[in-house]
Homo-oligomer: A and B are copies of this chain.
Amino acid sequence: MKRATIKDIAKVLEVNTSTVSRALNNHPDISQPMKVKVQEVAKALNYTPNLLALNLKTNKTKTIGLIVSSVGKFFVPSFINGVGSVLESHGYKLVILASDESFDKEADHVRLCCNSQMDGIILSLTNQTIGIDHLDLVIENAIPLVIFDKTIKQNKFSSITINDAQYAEMCTEFLLNNNCTNILGVFGNPNMTITKERLIGFNKAVEKNTSINAHSIFASDIEEALQKTIIKLNEDASITGIYCMSDEVLTGATAALHQLNKLNDIKLVCISDGVLTPYHVPAINYVQHDGFAMGVATANQLIIEINSKEKITPIALKMECGWV
């Protein structure tokens, strides 16, 4: 049986479709008895509004696009859950688009979001992205867009991040305060602003104290972090503290320590989303960069911008992170 439309229910009641439409939308002009009758027939016919027709009419889709390099193990899943929980309560759907660290794909996805008339976009830049000209389309179409976590310097869109340098510095100082005089910083992909910022914080802490010996390595995935950490620790056996900028590199570094049987000799500290980190043994100190909370904040900002009538001035929100 084909899906019922307001036309069908209008036919049954021998009234006009617009009457039905207004009755269903509880319009004040419609009499109570009529409303009741319409409701009944609607229920009997299993009527549900055709959202596609509504979309066309209102030029809204109640859909948000989330463009992210990929749905990895860390941070992003929590972030998605955070975004999802907010969007759901506002009746928005969330479309996931993976850019796979390719700038072209990122641009494609942005285009897709615009062409599909999405009501908003949430974006985390790839490590290849060095400009935001590809987002001009978004501005032309007046689609609210919020950038989170991985961003670059810009002032056209709101961004939700943390103070990367500050927390990296905090972590590094923790090592120094724990009598580590020779430390290693394990960083992610060097192209990312987030990496550069965290490196700045690391160096800042190191430079405060001239007696410190510091190394740093960059790794784009777990395996690379593992290999480079092993090499570094073999080169310099006197390293006693490691700062990891993310859960991903932490996983590699931890495996390296395991393999070298140095898990109890070297102090670890990291910036982590805090989901798996609590299960590290020996216990590990970390600054919690809560993905869920950031997802919630990002989604909320996006909703604000969507609902705002006037053009909003972009904000740059730095979220607070706690020490665990």
Interface residue ranges, A against B (CB under 8 Å): 1, 3, 46, 48-53, 55-56, 59, 61, 63, 70-74, 76-78, 80-81, 84-85, 88, 93-98, 112, 114-117, 140-141, 222, 226, 251-252, 254-255, 258-259, 275-276, 279-281
A56 contacts across to B, CB distance below 8 A: 50, 52-53, 55-56
Considering the complex, give the chain B residue whose CB is closest to the CB of A116. Answer: B51
- Given known contacts A96-B84, A279-B252, A61 and B72 CB-to-CB distance under 8 angstroms: no
CB distance from A241 to the nearest CB of B (A): 20
Contacts of A95 in B (CB 8 A): 63, 93-96
Pair B77/A71 contact, Cβ less than 8 Å: yes
Q: Is the CB of B222 within 8 A of A117?
A: no
Judging by beta carbons under 8 Å apart, are A255 and B275 in contact?
A: no
With a CB–CB cut-off of 8 A, which chain B residues contact A71? 71, 77-78, 80-81, 84
Complex CA distance for A1 and B281, rounded to whole angstroms: 59
A48 and B255 contact, CB distance less than 8 A: no
Q: Is the CB of A141 within 8 A of B3?
A: yes
**Contact, CB under 8 Å: A96 / B94:** yes
- Which residues of B sit under 8 angstroms from A94, Cβ to Cβ? 95-96
Q: Which residues of B contact A52 (CB under 8 A)?
A: 52, 55-56, 59, 61, 117
Can you sample 16 A-B contacts with CB below 8 Å?
A3-B141, A46-B140, A48-B115, A51-B115, A53-B56, A70-B81, A71-B71, A71-B80, A71-B81, A88-B97, A88-B98, A93-B95, A95-B95, A222-B279, A251-B276, A252-B279
| Whole-angstrom distance between the Cβ of A227 and the nearest chain B Cβ | 12
Supply 11 further A-B pairs (C-beta < 8 A) apart from A73-B276, A81-B98: A48-B115, A71-B77, A72-B77, A84-B96, A84-B97, A93-B112, A95-B95, A222-B276, A222-B279, A226-B279, A255-B280
